Structure 1
C-alpha cells in the first residue's frame, strides 16, 4: 500500500482559517457504514443518529500555550513548540530554525523569567530541552506562551479558547483533538437526554500530528508515541454500553487510537495508562469502535488512512472529492464527517 494512494487535490481556499461563531453549526457529512450512502447536514443534526444506549467517547486533553519564542545571548530569536513532557522540567520540542539550537546552547524567554538549555537531539531533529525557572512552570507558560496553531492556519485566533474543546480538562497537548471542537455544552446535554452515555479518554496529542508520512510504503511509517489515560469510571461506562449492545461512537482519531490501543480482542477495556504508537490503516480490524466522528484531513496523512481503515479507501476518497466539490471546510477549524 502506497502513501500516494491517499492523495487528493485540495484547493487552499478550502482550508478553514477561523472557527465558526457557533461551534455546532459546522457542516456534517454523514456516511452510512453499510451502504456508503451520503447525506449532508449540520453538526447539531448529529443527534439524529445517536440512540439511547450508545456511548460517545471524547478525548478530554487540553492544549497548552506550547509556542514560545526564545533568544540566544547573540540576540537570535528561535521558536520552540513543546511536544512532549519527558520529566518535570524536560521536554521534547520542535525548534525553528533548528540550526541555531545546538547542544549546550541556552535560550532565554520573557527577559529571564524562563530559560532552557538544549541537552540532546531527538527524533526527526527535535530538541530535548531542560527548563530553568523559579515558581510554577504552568503559570509561567500561561504568561509567556501562545496557542500552537497548525502551520496551515495563518489567520490570528482572537479567542485562544476556541482551539480547545468545551470539555478540555487535562493539560498536555500540542494540538487539539479537533473533531471535538464542534460540540457545545448544550449539545452534550442533549446527547445525554437521548439516553446515550458519555465517556472520556485522554490522549496528549504530540509530534505525530505534525509529522508527515515521508515513506512511500505505508507499512514502513512509524508513529510517534503519545501518552494516554483511561480511568476506572470511564472504562466501566464503555464496558457497560458495549455489553448492553450499545454502539461505541468515537469522537476523533485520537479517541479512536486510544480505544483501539486499550481494547482487548473481545472489545472489553480496562483502566490503564501508557504510551501508544498504534498506526491504523486499511487492513486493520477494529475491536471496539462502531462509529466515528472526525474532521476532513490532510492528503496522504495517517488520519485519512485511519478513516479509510474504518470505512474503505475508495468510499472515503470519493467522499473527500464530493466534499471538495461541495466546498466543505477542511482541517482543524473545518467541517465534520460522521461514519455510522
Structure 2
C-alpha cells in the first residue's frame, strides 16, 4: 500500500508539473524553477550528510562555483547550456574530491568547522576576485543557449530545469540502491565496522564529497538557465543553513525527505522574503523545534522509529525467554 501511495504521489507531481506551464504565471514558473534547484542541492547534501554521515558545511560554496563556471562559459563562448552545466558540475566535483581528501581524518565538529572555513574562503573569492566574478557588484549573466535557441524566460527554461531535476532524483535513487550507496551507509554507521567489512573508508568519503559537490555544481549551472544575475551575498553560510534545514526537516537519510524538505522550505523562504530581518530567527526556531520534538524529520524510517521506541524502554527491562528468564540479564 505504501509503494502504491508513493507512486500515486509521484504521478500526481508529474501531472502538476506538466500542466503548470499552461496555467501559471511567469513568477510561479520562476518559483518552480528555483524549487527544482533546491531539490538538486538537497539531494547533494543528502549524499554527504544523510547517506555518509559527514557533516559538511560547504555546499553553498560548490553551488557558487557551479553558477560562476556556467555563467562565465555562457558569456565567453555561448556553448549549449548542457555543456555549461556539466562544466560547473565537473569543476565543483574536483574541488569536492580535494576537500574530501583533506577532511577525511576529521570528524564531527572538526569536519564541520573545516568545511565551514572552506565555504567562507570561497565566499571571499567570490567577493574579491573582481576580474572574474565582478565582486560585490554582482555578475550579470548572459542567457543560456541550446543549439542557438536562447532561454530568455522562465517558461522557456522550465522544461529543461524540471527534466534535469527529475534525472538527478532518478540517479540519486539508483545510487542509494547500489553497492556504493551501501558503502556510504556503512561508513555512516561506523568507520571501524565498515573497514572490517572491506570498505575503503577514505575512498568512500572522498567519493561522497565529490558526488555532493557535483550535485551542487549542477544546481548552480541549472540556476543560470533561468536567472540573469547572481550576487555573492546569496552564496554565503545562510544558503548552506537553508539547505541543511531542508534535509534535517525532511529526514536525514531519506531521499523523499530531501525532496519534500526542499519544496517546503523553498516556499517558506520565498514567503519570508517579506520579513528578511526575522528570517534567520524563524529558521532557527523551526530547526530547534524539529530537533527537540521530531529529530528524525518528516520521513523518519521505520527502523528509526523502532529504535526510538526501544530507547525509551527502561534499562532493566529485557526480553523474556521461553524458560521464563530475562534475556537482558545474566
**Category of TM-score, reference length = shorter chain:** under 0.3
TM-score scaled by length of structure 1 = 0.24
Higher-strand-fraction structure: 1
Structure with bigger RCO (C-alpha 8 Å, 6+ apart): 2
Looking at CA atoms only, which structure, 1 or 2, has the larger radius of gyration?
Answer: 2
The structure carrying a bigger helix percent of its residues is 2
- TM-score of the superposed pair, with normalisation by structure 2: 0.24
